[in-house]
A = this chain, B = another copy of it.
Amino acid sequence: MAEPAQRRAETRQRILTAAGELFREHGVDGVGVDAVMKEAGLTHGGFYLHFPSKEALAAEVSHALLARAAKKWLELSRSHDRETALETIVSQYLDPVRVASGQCCALTTIGTDVARRTSSKTAVGGDLRGMLDALAQCLPGRSAERRRQRALTALSTMVGAVVLARLADEQALSDEVLRAAAASLLPAGKAVNRLASGVEAAAG
């Protein structure tokens, strides 16, 4: 059956996944090691067989989440034309349902936590660059530098929009922020419908 090494790797992955969900929802400081292990179907004692400390877990979770996003964006940019890839990225990123749940981009949910932890900061440096590079592939512009500029601004807008949407005290304002950001990043008429339908899906 499953080799020991593989079982071990699977458990480790389960812990990472559980932490990814909980950290994004409640913040790194808002979740204890015991809660993470419980979510992963284990008891807290075993945690240190897989990670040297909670700090290290936070760094690796941040890295894993952002690396996954960078990879996904890069694949999208390669398998689709620019417009389609961009539309997919933006409308998923700004999807009100995702934003309302804790499942949105780690940059927006634990970005501040990462910024304050040197180890996490170091761990995600490459991933942030990867996300920007992939995004630049999807944006129009004659020169590479122009696309780079646009990628920097586009990611800023997306991150900020999600932060504000999560912070807004009313659903209407939250949706308004997300719609405005999507409209500014996509050709007219593209995003609005998808975002609106996202809200419907959440109600159902």
Q: Could you tell me if B163 and A161 are in contact, using CB atoms closer than 8 angstroms? A: no
Tell me whether chain A's interface is mostly helix, strand or loop, or mixed. helix
Residues of B within 8 A of A173 (CB): 128-129
CA distance A183 to B27 in the complex (A): 32
Instruction: Identify which of residues 154-182 in chain A touch chain B, using a CB-to-CB cut-off of 8 Å.
Output: 155-161, 163-164, 166-170, 173, 176-177, 180-181
Residue A26 at the B interface, CB < 8 A?
yes
Residue A141 at the B interface, CB < 8 A?
no
Size range of the chain A interface in the assembly = 35 or more
CA distance A84 to B181 in the complex (A): 24
Instruction: Identify which of residues 85-139 in chain A touch chain B, using a CB-to-CB cut-off of 8 Å.
Output: 107-116, 121-122, 124-125, 128-129
Q: Could you tell me if A167 and B29 are in contact, using CB atoms closer than 8 angstroms? A: no
Given contacts A156-B180, A159-B164, list 5 more A-B pairs with CB under 8 A.
Answer: A107-B167, A110-B112, A112-B166, A149-B184, A156-B156
Name A's B-contacting residues (CB within 8 A): 26-27, 29-30, 107-116, 121-122, 124-125, 128-129, 149, 152-153, 155-161, 163-164, 166-170, 173, 176-177, 180-181, 183-184
